[in-house]
Structure 1
Amino acid sequence: MTRLALTGSTTVITGAASGMGAEIARLLAPRGVHLALLDRDAEALTVLAAALPGTVTTHVVDLRDDDAVFAAAHDIELVHPRINALVTCAGSSMLGTLDQLTMEEMRWLTDVNLWGTVSITKALLPALRAAPDAHIAHLASVYALAAPAGRIPYAMGKFAVRGFSEALRHELEGSRITVGAVYPAGVRTGIILHGRYAAAIDPEVAARAASAQARMYHTEPADAAAQIIRSIERRRARTMVGREARIIDLLVRLSPSSYWRVMRRPLRAATDTTTPIS
């Protein structure tokens, strides 16, 4: 398989205003890669774009709105005639047990993490088909490999992103488009600290759990972004980001039905959304 050349073509990044999406943009722009950046945060997008060299366009869109997503894809195609990479970084987190979460809260997260990924991929697929070669990179999560307690809607959505990526890769077999799923773990993006939690949880309890999770993160966003870019250029089907991801991947392969026995203890504080603050 030929290496994907990003320079001179356009890479579309969702969730580009912060975290790994922003870091990917910062690494690609100086290399002569044209960028189309999508996010809900217009102000952060503007600040980021102003700091980047080259051709950069910003598109403020809520990925839960299918019509807005397809309209944004149309706008991107008008400005960027050569799109050969899509990176779906947009996502959020949600703390809470099934008892604590409402159906509305779980649907909100699934709309963001899963259906937003599906929508932008479907909208840009014709443009990617028109490229000589193209790659789609979907950010899943280590929780698309192993599902912890206290993260049902997040794990559910990310497992679905994994399934979507794999099925789409098989559908596009023999075409010029390759598809890969990226499994980050322990990246210091702040997603858990700025994510949502069930309204039924005491805010102090939620903050305690989020802080416990954040303390387990060791990979810098710029390092994760560099790994993701390499995986796009090499058109990899699976990319583990962070030492923890590789360990969990191996653990699940070795103990597919009992891996939680090993994960339960280190994740105890991060998944505890019920014990009151004393």
Structure 2
Amino acid sequence: MLLAKKGCHLALSDIDENSLKDIAIDLRDYPVRVTTHVVNVSRRDEVYRYADQCVKEHGQVNLIMNNAGVGLGETVDAMSYENFEWLMNINFWGVVYGTKAFLPYLKQSGDGHVINISSIFGIIGVPTQSAYNAAKFAVRGFTESLREELDIERSRVSATCVHPGGVKTNIARNSRMGDMGNIAPGSKEEITELFDRIARSTPEQAANAILHAVRKNRRRVLIGNDATILDAGQRLMPAGYQWPLEAFFRMRQGRQKMSSQSSQ
């Protein structure tokens, strides 16, 4: 929406065709060209076909935002390879495919930018989030390396890695909740409700922060006060930040146990 307000032509992709139709309706009053593409970012051929279609329909590409993501709550011990691969194929390989498919076109345009969405969980590790952490740490390293390469080449294409904290999206609702043992007890509904309660940033705030970072050619951008605080804690205590997290989860364990006992 923010890009449309600024007069940018848009090529939108999603795995959900209905969501694309709804967004296209919301954008129909803006004097910009909008195309929609149903894409599964975990499939490389679909992402490359999408890139080709964008150039064919719009003439050139100046900005690519790799934003698709899913969540998984599961301990390392219990986690199935199927769940791990499902998340990595979307959260990490989707970013790789999107970057590599569009990078040649961005360079051809003479002025472009790659925006890859990591997470504050790409900076700190969190119990039951090992797969998500692995993907988001990987996105961070991949994007920082890409940025360095582009700068060394003195390319007119650049890259920014984005680390949001809690943003009010549907990621928790679209997540898979596996076996979290007694580390993070609670149903998917309870965890989704907790996420909705602690997610403070809106998508509009996130979009503004990201586009500001692109204009300033920032290497990294944090979204939300929660991300800023957690990032600062990791910088001050690169390993020690884990102790408060462990204490928090133990406290939740205790509360859940007391709640279960009182209900019996």
Tell me if TM exceeds 0.5.
Answer: yes
Select which of 141, 163, 167 maps to 2:145: 167
Alignment of 1:86-165 (within 5 A): 86-165=64-143
Looking at structure 1, the residues matched to 116 and 176 of structure 2 have their Cα atoms a distance apart, in angstroms, of: 22
Pick which of 256-265 and 70-79 moved more. Answer: 256-265
Distance 2:199 2:88 in 1: 23
Deviation at 1:55, TM superposition (A): 0.4
What is aligned with 1:50? 25
Q: What is the total number of aligned residue pairs between the two structures? A: 252
**For the residues of structure 2 that align with 1:271 and 1:210, how far apart are their CA atoms?**
18
3-state SS in 2 of match to 1:191? coil
Partners of 2:186 and 2:239 in 1: how far apart? 33
Q: CA deviation at 1:206?
A: 3.1
> Is the Cα contact below 8 Å between 1:73 and 1:123 reproduced in 2?
yes
Looking at structure 2, the residues matched to 268 and 136 of structure 1 have their Cα atoms a distance apart, in angstroms, of: 40
Q: What residue in structure 2 maps to residue 258 of structure 1?
A: 240
CA contact (8 A) 2:75 2:180 kept: no
Normalising by structure 2, what TM-score? 0.88
CA distance, structure 1, for counterparts of residue 193 and residue 123 of structure 2: 22
Aligned mates of 1:277, 1:213 — CA distance in 2: 20
Q: Larger % of helix: which? A: 2
Q: Is 1:29 the equivalent of 2:9?
A: no
Residue 60 of structure 2 is aligned to residue 82 of structure 1 = yes
Deviation at 1:125, TM superposition (A): 0.8
1:234 to 216, 220, 227: 216
Partner of 1:178: 158
Per-residue deviation, 1:276: 11
Superposed CA RMSD? 2.4
Which residue identity does 1:69 align to in structure 2?
V
Q: Give unpaired runs (5+ residues) of structure 2.
A: none
Partner-residue secondary structure (3-state), 1:192: coil
Q: Measured at CA, do residues 277 and 201 of structure 1 come closer, stay the same or move farther in structure 2, by a change above 3 Å?
A: farther
CA offset digits 1:224-259 (Å, max 9, x no partner): 111111112222101011001111111111111110
Could you give the per-residue CA deviations for residues 44-84 of structure 1, whole angstroms, max 9, x where no partner exists? Answer: 10110122121011110101111111111111110112311
Q: TM-score, normalised by structure 1?
A: 0.84
SS of residue matched to 2:159: strand
Specify the alignment match of 1:223 in structure 2: 205
Secondary structure, counterpart of 2:134 in structure 1: helix
Report % sequence identity: 33
**Aligned-partner SS, 1:231:** helix
